[in-house]
Every structure is written in structure tokens, then in C-alpha cells.
Amino acid sequence: MSDSPTTTLSERECWDLLGQHEFGRLAYHLTDEVHIAPVNYAVDRDRLVFRTAEGSKLLGVVMDSDVAFEIDQVDDDAETAWSVVARGTAGILEGQEAREVDNLRLRPWVGTEKFNVVAITVTEVSGRSFALSRPWRHLRRHG
């Protein structure tokens, strides 16, 4: 048993965490810049699927399909945390493939119309869990 504060998650553990959550961050290229944006998503086999309106996310994945996606959490006790990063290729779904997304647990969090369906075909997924050591916690004010 290791005393390391960092543990590498298995691929199965990473996919399990991706399947249990619905909010993450999409990193994408747009011109000569890297952007990051929050999205709600669903897992569909080996893909992550999200809806988006016309705008920079959609333009970014059309211009450069190379993307990364990240979810993370600091547990309520603030003693542990984890992070999962998926890398892959994004593409717009159309026709029947886009309609099939309606059967997934993918609903907009805000009331704006999002007609474009994007799928990230994941080529690599990795994750780590952390045992947090935060000696300054005793300095927080309570009350």
C-alpha cells in the first residue's frame, strides 16, 4: 500500500465517474487560442454528448475537432478530491444520430435553445484521486 496522496484511477473508474455526473468543462481550440467552457453532457457508449447553440464552442469544434473534457469534485469533507480528463475528437451529429440523443439523460440547464448536438469520441481517458492535505484549514472562520 502506498502512502502517496495521489492515486491513478483506472479507465473503468474514470468512465463510472463520467457516467455519474452531468456537468464538465470543454477545452477547445478557436483560431490561435485555447478556450474552456462549461457544458452539461451525457455519456453515450464511448462518447460524451452535449448540446450547444450557435457560437464559439460550435465554431471551435468545427474548425478543430481536437478537444479535451474535464470533470472534478472536492468531496464534502474536503479531505479528498478527484479529477477525470477525456481527450478525443468532436463532431456534430446530424439526422437520426442527433435524434437518438433525445433518449439520453441530456437536458439543458438553462432555457436557451440548443439545437446543435456534438459528440466527443473519446480516445483517451485518465483520472486521479487525491488525499488532500490542507494545513491552513484551521484558519477558516466558522459561523
The answer to whether the beta carbons of residues 70 and 85 sit under 8 Å apart is yes
Question: Taking Cα atoms as reference points, which of 92, 96, 90, 95 lies closest to residue 116?
Answer: 92
Q: Give the closest residue to 52 by CA, choosing from 64, 67, 37, 66.
A: 37
Between 75 and 85, name the one with better pLDDT: 85
> What is this structure's pTM?
0.85
Pair 7, 127: CB distance under 8 Å: no
pLDDT in tens, 103-121: 887 777 777 778 899 999 9
Q: So what's the pLDDT on residue 61? A: 92
3-state SS string for 77-115: CCCEEEEEEEEEEEEEECHHHHHHHHHCCCCCCCCCCCC
Look up residue 135 and give its amino acid.
Answer: P
Q: What is the mean pLDDT of residues 2-29?
A: 93
Only one residue has cell 435524434, namely 99
